[in-house]
Structure 1
Amino acid sequence: MNCLFNSLRMLHVQYLHHSLQELLKSHQECLKLQREVAKDRQKNLAEQQSEISKKSYVIKESIIRKYLEIQAILDNDLRTTLSHLEAEERAAVSTLDWLMERNWSLMQKTEQDLAEITATLDHVNLHAHAMPDHKDPGVMDRGPHALDGTECCSVSLDAAKAEQILSLTDNMFLLISSLTPTIKNLVKSYSSDVCLDPDTAHPKLLISPQGDSVTYTDTWKELPDTPLRFDTTLNVISLQSFSFGCHYWEMDVTGKTYWELGVTYPSIPRKGIAEDCWLGRGDESWCVEFFGGEYTAWHRGVPHRLLVTKQYCRIGIVCNFPAGSVMFVGADDMSPLFCFCAGSFSDSLHLALCPGHDHNGTNAKPIVICNAISSAPLV
């Protein structure tokens, strides 16, 4: 009996061992396959990264060449224009040199004639009955007519031509000014109308009737606690959402010492004290924060301290769906502050603002949307 039991036990152990071997082998094959997929994916990602760098390099080189060509055209046009003006200047100066030389000769001759006339006059005065002996009978004939042809008023630059050149250069300046800065013109073309949704605003935030500004107040307003409303974080999002194309929004933050600006999916948590409710702290939103004179970019709770010392009066957000990117710029001079690359967005995006507490009056100014819809929002 014991022998049979041991045999059965042995068979059971062998079965379990075999089953475990098969399970481990199966898992081993899955891991090998997963490793190969990960290797291929890593290779593809590295190739994609290299391709992006190459494309960016080609684009930048092409732009540099165009700017150099523009500069060469302007430099050549400047040289040609100045050479024409300098040729006219040389001709006028040369003519005036000749007239000055002629006038100088006339002055010397006049001095000689004056000396002779003076000497003759003195002789006549001493010898009243004597006839003067003129060595140069032409002295008496030289007078005002001798100055003919030495006037400078007949020599001048071509004033009409100079005015035309100045007019053309002014027009060229206005044209170039209208086309530059290139980035400013580009992002301004993405400008999208937007207004804030009061139904999403924290009860201590005051939204203007036009929906174009948000201000912190120390009064908790009794408002319906709908699922849309932020109840802890001082956030408000736009009424409009965007899911394709390129968009640009510009906010005036003049006089503020603290603010958060960004974009968010509609799924951002809005209730309680969870960190995900704050802009940029979860997967649902991207933001740049200004606090204590420093800028920090946030996404997924990861802070990126920005090496920016200038306090901008206006901040711009460029949301590019085709590129899957969100870029923040100092709109005063269009300097890039930070760019997030999501690759692609999984949902529509809203503009999101947080004006922060007033900090004893030091942060009482509103955030104003510069390209807000002029009419009141429909809610």
Structure 2
Amino acid sequence: MVVGGNTPETLEKHHECLKKQREAVKYRLKKLAARQSEITKKSSVIRESIIRKYQEIQTVLDKDLRITLSHLEMEERAAVSALDGLMERNCSLIQEIEQDLARLTVALNQVDTEPDTMEDMETVERVMDLLNSTDPSRVSLDEAKAEQILSLTNKMLLLICSQTPIIKKLTNSYSSDVFLDPETAHPKLIISPQGDSATYTDTWQQLPDLPGRFDTTLNVISLQGFSFGRHYWEIDVTGKTYWELGVTYPTIPRKGTTEDCWLGRGAESWCMEFFDGEYTAWHGGVPHQLPYTKRFCRIGVLCSFPAGLVTFLEADKMTPLFSFCAGTFSDCLHLALCPGHDHNGNNAKPIGICNAISPTSDL
């Protein structure tokens, strides 16, 4: 019997083929789950190792602090003890003077008694000697040593600050030079000759209507695209009241008023936006309102192909602002910028790429 033109033999072969494909997919699913478990365990081990190192650093610092303070406390105890001895001498002499005063009071009440002037002179001399020998300025801390300790601790602090945040040195090692492609820039954008900044102008420039040029949205993308590894850029947004920045596939729509032309509104791009004092992260047309009110000067953009991650950071302190878990990227990524329109005359400054310092040999 033939069903739909297929012989039983053909159907049997197709049935067997589907069973094999099902087993192949099940096996792949099993491998993916195993890989997921492996990554989770490996991440946990790495995390614990890093925590232990920070704890070891803290232990070393705490121990050194205890030793330093114990030396200072020994000096303090010695100085306090010396001053206690001097005060005791003064107290003893005061008691003797009180006794002499009492004696003299009695003598003054007895008119026929001659005062012992020699003894009075001896008391005066003893007081002068005591005052000279118990001068408070003769007892002091080793202030020169204290200044040296402060100087050394300050140098240690500067050294630690120069190495932190650790993630900044690491992230800067992913820096990749990019230049804006003027052939993609909207006609109301002025691209610097160096290709490192874009400025909005209210004048529509007479530029060739190239296929890759944005004609509605105020976008420009980088000439370079990246398809593997990790890449990091810092964008200067100082003084701006409106901007968008992120990464995009080269397939992002460039023409017309379709919403997908805007950064983050389609599946081809990921972006962070600042508008009217509010920050929003966008991808696939889905907005993520961010809880920040500070006006940042530099925004870092980190994309990691191995992790399938796009992260936006406050560049000075390397504080993560928002991360997209993009999974596996299907195309190369370009840096994308939008300086925004004049925004009521308050957004004239350019948006620029800050090329980070090349990684050093000690990274």
* TM-score normalized with structure 2 length: 0.84
Distance change >3 Å, CA 16–CA 48, structure 1 → 2: closer
CA contact (8 A) 1:279 1:285 kept: yes
Q: CA deviation at 1:218?
A: 2.8
Q: Residue 43 of structure 1: CA displacement?
A: 1.3
Residue of 152, 164, 167 corresponding to 2:148:
164
The yes-or-no answer on 1:144 pairing with 2:125 is yes
**Alignment correspondent of 1:333:** 317
Q: CA deviation at 1:255?
A: 4.7
Quick one: which of 277, 285, 297 aligns to 2:282?
A: 297
- What are the equivalent positions in structure 2 for 1:83-232 lying under 5 Å apart? 83-117=70-104, 119-120=106-107, 123=110, 126-127=111-112, 132=114, 138-145=119-126, 146-147=129-130, 149-232=133-216
CA offset at residue 27 of structure 1? 2.7
Gaps of 5+ in 1: 1-13, 374-379
CA distance in structure 2 between the aligned counterparts of 1:79 and 1:72, rounded to whole angstroms: 11
Deviation at 1:183, TM superposition (A): 1.9
2:340 aligns to what? 356
Distance 2:271 2:352 in 1: 17
Runs of 5+ unmatched residues, structure 2:
358-363
Tell me the SS of whatever aligns to 1:143.
helix
1:308 equivalent in structure 2? 291
1:33 aligns with 2:42: no
- Return the offset for 1:173: 0.9
Are the aligned partners of 1:297 and 1:338 in contact in 2 as well (CA < 8 Å)? no
**Aligned residue identity for 1:297:** W
Change (3 A) 1:270 1:133: closer
Q: Which residue of 79, 82, 102 corresponds with 2:69?
A: 82
Distance in 1, Cα, partners of 2:4 & 2:190: 70
For 1:92 and 1:239, how far apart are their aligned partners in 2? 71
1:303, distance to aligned residue in structure 2 (A):
2.3
Asked if the contact 1:312–1:330 (Cα under 8 Å) also holds between the matched residues in 2, the reply is no
CA contact (8 A) 2:265 2:282 kept: no
Tell which structure's C-alpha radius of gyration is larger.
1
The one-letter amino acid paired with 1:84 is H
Kept in 1, the 8 Å contact 2:199–2:339? The answer is yes
Partners of 2:266 and 2:69 in 1: how far apart?
A: 61
Task: Indicate which of 30, 52, 72 corresponds to 1:65.
Answer: 52
More displaced, 55-64 or 354-363?
354-363
How many equivalent residue pairs?
352
Q: CA deviation at 1:266?
A: 3.6
Q: Distance in 1 between matches of 2:356 and 2:317?
A: 21
* Deviating more after overlay: 81-90 vs 342-351: 342-351
